[in-house]
Amino acid sequence: MSDKQKLPLSLMYEPDTYLCSWLLPDDTGGHLDIPGDLVLRPLHRPTGQVYGAVPLQHTQHAPGVVETAFPQYISVPVLHGRLANGGSVILLDTHIQLWENSGHITGAAALLSKPAFFGLAGVPAAPTAAVPPLVISATFQITALDAALGVPPIKNVSHPHLPGGEEGRWAATVNASAAGTWSTECAELTVSYYHRMRAMDPCEFNLAFSPVATVTLTEAKPLAIALDQYIEPLRKILSIATGKPQDLSYLHVELEGREGKYQVIGTGITQAPFASSTAAIQAHNSAVRALPDELSLLDLVTQWSRYAAAHHPLVETYGAMLHTRDQHPRSRYLLLIQALEGLYGYENKATTDQRQAKHTASHEEALARAKKDLDAETFKFVKKHLSKKPSASLDTALDALMTGLPVNIMSLLSATELVKEVQAANTTTSLTTAGALREVRNNLAHGNRGYEPHHLQEVVRLLEFIVRGHALRILGCSEAVISRIFPTE
């Protein structure tokens, strides 16, 4: 890559195959230094090979009679390696398959450091330590991060063609306010821009920016927990804010007790850092614009993590489908309705419990009277078929949630081909829009019938606006922020 093409944010290691040596555990409690390689690919687990005298287990049945079975398996929480360029690799949750003179290695994630040219920076003090390292901070990039920050990196520009512009002078003023920092007692989150300037070239002047987030933890945590509690929630929130699946493009961490930064390779990381552009920010059209809206991104992340830990139905259901691409509209329809139904039940639990208590008392009283007045066979039938739960309708939940946001798109739902088709087919009663959606859900869930995918997709698109709006609502966003979710036409 030429100097002109370099991004402000760049990878320490590009996806590729790297020569290395692995410290494989042997049966004496020590380690053997075995040559091999490390294969790094975007969105994939890191893998590797070892070649040579690998440590094998042998079974001696009798003097001079030894049996060696293949393949042999070793699983370790941490596997250390040294790259041929002098850097180091820490492979987490590693599984090794060994053959006679070779082996295959797979890890959940790889942490890679730069070569230590001066001193021992970046090289673990105990390369054979079997305890996974803890993360004290993580620097990462998610697509649409700049759009969600809400402030561009350049405050203003001037050039000869602007009113008041000076002849022959092109200039840009960096926006010093284009950064946000939010803190809790557990963490600090900063979102800002890395920049790269090409100003000394007599033939070219260039200034570029990459949005970057850094979370610093009060207490060091395993990588998986840092991902689950801070990085993935922010990725989900940006996906909700933009209505598009967003990618984790870059992740470096600092480890407790170790110098330097470590690039993280693993599933879910595209290894494709980017520079900001006006076109991309406008295309993302994020409903969340943290700095202008005076929103704490860390508060949104913390609230999402709390809801996830409590198995909040909308967070759990919709969160699981946020990054799914090309999902069939049938599946998406069912999951969106499930998310709304679960949200209504979660927020109306107290009322539901009261209704249940009242119904239980009436149920017991009715059975007591029936036992006195009915014969044994009839009473047995009544007892079996008399519901222990009060009647509940999905229509009520859908009506409340579809009209309970700053923008009401019920008229758009009513005009969809799917709703009109279901209403026209129902000749016995007059179905409301919510009733039609409920009937579609029941038919799809029970396999009674199917519907045209493009008709389902039309409704799915509108339901997604509603679910996204409620997702931002429960996270604490204002009505102005929620309103940006919805179409303006």
3-state secondary structure 91-120: EEEEEEEECCCEEEEECCEEEECCCCCCCC
Determine how many CB atoms are found less than 10 A away from the CB of residue 386. Answer: 11
- 298 burial (CB, 10 Å; 0-12 / 13-18 / 19+) is buried
In this predicted structure, what is the pLDDT of residue 206? 82
Q: What was the pLDDT predicted at 414?
A: 95
Using CA atoms in the order 385, 387, 393, 396, what is the torsion angle rounded to 10 degrees?
160
| CA-CA-CA-CA torsion sign (427, 428, 433, 434) | negative
Smallest Cα–Cα separation from 397: which of 352, 428, 458, 355?
352
At position 352, the amino acid (one-letter code) is T
Residue 250, pLDDT score: 98
* Residue whose C-alpha is closest to residue 229's, from 239, 215, 250, 240: 215
Determine the Cα–Cα distance for residues 274 and 193; give it in Å rounded to an integer: 11
| Side chain identity at residue 57, one-letter code | Q
Domain spanning 10-112: CATH 2.60.40: no
C-alpha Rg value of the chain to the nearest Å: 30
pLDDT at 119: 47
pLDDT score at 61: 73
Q: Are 400 and 392 in contact (CB under 8 A)?
A: no
Give the model's pLDDT for residue 127. Answer: 53
C-alpha span between 14 and 279 (Å, rounded): 26
Enumerate the domain spans of the chain: 10-112, 135-154+173-310, 329-352+392-483
pTM, to two decimals: 0.89
Tokens of 266: 């693993």
pLDDT of residue 121: 43
Kindly report, residue by residue over 65-96, the tens digit of the pLDDT.
Answer: 777 788 989 999 999 999 999 999 999 999 99
**Residue ranges in the chain whose pLDDT is less than 70:** 1-5, 62, 117-129, 352-353, 356, 359, 390-392, 489
**Alpha-carbon dihedral sign for residues 427, 431, 435, 440:** positive
Q: Which two tokens stand for residue 233?
A: 């929630």
